[in-house]
Amino acid sequence: MNPTEHALKITVATGAVSTWKSDALIVGVYEGGEAQAALSLCGEELAQEVQQRLQEKWIKGGLGESILFRTPANSGLQMPRIVLLGLGKKESLTNESFRALGGHIHALCNKSNIATCHVLLSLDTYQASKKQSAKRPAKQRPIAVLESLAEGAWLSSYRFEHFKSKENKEGKEPKEPKEEHPFKQLVLGLSGEETAQEKKRLLSVEQLTRGVAFARNLGNQPPNLLNPETLAQQARQLAERLPAIKTTIYAERMLVRKGMNGILAVGGGSRTPPCLITLEYRHGGDRPLLAVVGKGITFDSGGLNIKSGEGMAEMKYDMCGAAAVFGFVQAVAEMELPINLVGVVPAAENMPSATAQRPGDIIKTAKGLFVEVLNTDAEGRLILADALHHASSFKPAAIIDLATLTGACVVALGSQASGLMGNNPPLLRQLEKAGERSGDRLWQLPMFPEYQEQIKSTVADIKNVGGKGAGTITAACFLSRFVEENQAWAHIDIAGTAYDTGSSQPHMPKGAVGVGVRLLYHFVQKNWL
């Protein structure tokens, strides 16, 4: 299930443009028809040809807009085709813009049967962005552009085609299969000499996007094949591939012994018993430990409070928090980052049956708190309650949980940002900044003490729903009861961002998008290393 290599190869080229060889050369054009300064490196013949086309308004330069034409005969270039690619407004470029451009390049090359291409960018492309740090040395800025382009191209190259079969019509000779994705190699042009550090940074981007691909693969698996048992099997296989990871599986009997009745209650209606998965990576010496917790409901029918049929097929994505933990842990281990990390995944299938939990049940969680279950479709917080309590036993410096928790978050934020709540303002600010850098944007919601009143129960310590108002916040208030006092904790509700039913972003495919993997990486890169 886990891709070991991307089908698309991305490298860096240096030296004179006239020495490069590929099927096409891509040159950027800003909105308004201004070619990037790198055009001067391509020779006078091409520069004149491009300027003429810009004057004739063949392209306006909008983000992702493109035109393709033959390379002038006397240009001296060894690439037969030229692509002018719109970069958007010069003053509005961000890292996310370049990720989108990487996706546009991938789509363009596949559509135009371009197997290999060079992309030429110049320093002015990155300096144009007012949103980038002015303190960063200028010589590093082009590398950041290349990293974002590569990231977008690799993210765009992802395909989930595990269950597509090739059909041959009866009585006819099978035809030679058509190459559906001809684009194989992207070469990023760079002024100056390539260094070992730049190669390493590009490798880190590749390893990170492999982690995203792993998370996407898990999220896209059909629920008849991915259940708590097979998810645990994925954890074992991950540890076999990467020995730096230690995997522990708490099966049903151990959950009973540890009193994890939240997980047991949710999984009680399924033929496949629930489990708790831990993934430990300890290569940080005496550095503090980070715990990441991911909701792993492999399918959510709603239980006895069954969901409507509309959209229920999408409930296989209710384990995308768990998928993010898997993908992040893999990326960290592949990069051999010097950190201490534990991933905790409570896995269950929420099904209606004679053994399922009922509305009105009262369960005792591993922490000892009694919970009145008023709605069996508010199951994610029940399994996370036990998982957060278990994560606290590792004595981490911080706990971050990711969960497709509430439809209310989708109503509030749509698919443009994940909801962020927690008890530690510095941790929340660090995550917000990581969201800006990674493109996995977050928006903080308040947790005023008054919201805690909504989850008070008359017959138990708390109830698992807090009424119609502020559903995302009261769910976070519920989770906060299972975090130890003075424990830094952040909750990320990814209900609206975990999967896409038809994205306009070229690097975000339909289906699971692997949200959270890049966010967590940028968080640890800036604050944990």
Residue 175 has pLDDT above 90, yes or no: no
Question: Residue 118 falls within a domain, yes or no?
Answer: yes
Mean pLDDT across 229-251: 98
Is the model more confident about 494 or about 502? 494
- Taking only the tens place, the pLDDT of each residue in 313-327 is 999 999 999 999 999
What is the DSSP secondary structure assignment for residue 508, as one 8-state letter? S
Query: What angle is formed at CA 452 by the lines to CA 447 and CA 456, rounded to 5 degrees?
Result: 160
Q: Is 307 a catalytic residue?
A: yes
In a domain, 166, yes or no: no
Of 12-26, 92-106, 135-149, 153-167, the one with minimum mean pLDDT is 135-149
Answer yes or no: 381 catalytic.
yes
Q: Counting every residue, how long is the chain?
A: 529
Q: Is residue 169 part of a domain?
A: no
190-210 average pLDDT score: 79
Asked if residue 197 is part of any domain, the answer here is no
| Confidence (pLDDT) at 442 | 98
How far is it, in rounded angstroms, from Cα 17 to Cα 25?
Answer: 9
Is the pLDDT score of 460 beyond 70?
yes
Q: Do residue 269 and residue 242 come from a single domain?
A: yes
Q: Are residues 276 and 390 in the same domain?
A: yes
Confidence of residue 41 (pLDDT cuts 50, 70, 90): confident
The answer on 280 and 140 residing in a single domain is no
Tell whether 186 and 221 lie within a shared domain. Answer: no
Instruction: Tell me the C-alpha distance between 427 and 396, whole Å.
Output: 13
With cut-offs at 50, 70 and 90, classify the pLDDT of residue 258: very high
| CATH number of the domain bearing residue 357 | 3.40.630.10
| Average pLDDT of the chain, as a whole number | 90
Residue 175 lies in a domain: no
Residue 437 lies in a domain: yes
Of all residues in the chain, the percent with pLDDT exceeding 70 is 90
Distance CA 492, CA 487 (A): 16
**pLDDT at 226 exceeding the cut of 80:** yes
Q: Which residue has the tokens 């952040």?
A: 490
Q: pTM for the complete prediction?
A: 0.92
3-state secondary structure (DSSP) of residue 151: helix
User: Binning pLDDT at 50, 70 and 90, where does residue 12 land?
Assistant: confident
Do 234 and 359 fall into the same domain? yes
pLDDT at 38: 83
Q: Which of 192, 215, 250 is the last residue of a domain?
A: 192
Residues 220 and 186 in one domain: no
**pLDDT value at residue 2:** 56
User: Which of 90, 210, 295, 381 is labelled catalytic?
Assistant: 381
For 176-193, the pLDDT digits (tens) are 444 566 899 999 886 555
Return the higher-pLDDT residue of 250 and 196: 250
The active-site residue, picked from 81, 159, 287, 307, is 307
Q: Which domain holds residue 379?
A: 205-527
Q: Write out 43-82 in H/E/C secondary structure.
A: CHHHHHHHHHHHHCCCCCCCCCCEEEEECCCCCCCECCEE
Give the count of beta carbons closer than 10 Å to the beta carbon of residue 348: 35
With contact defined as beta carbons under 8 Å apart, do 322 and 219 qualify?
A: no
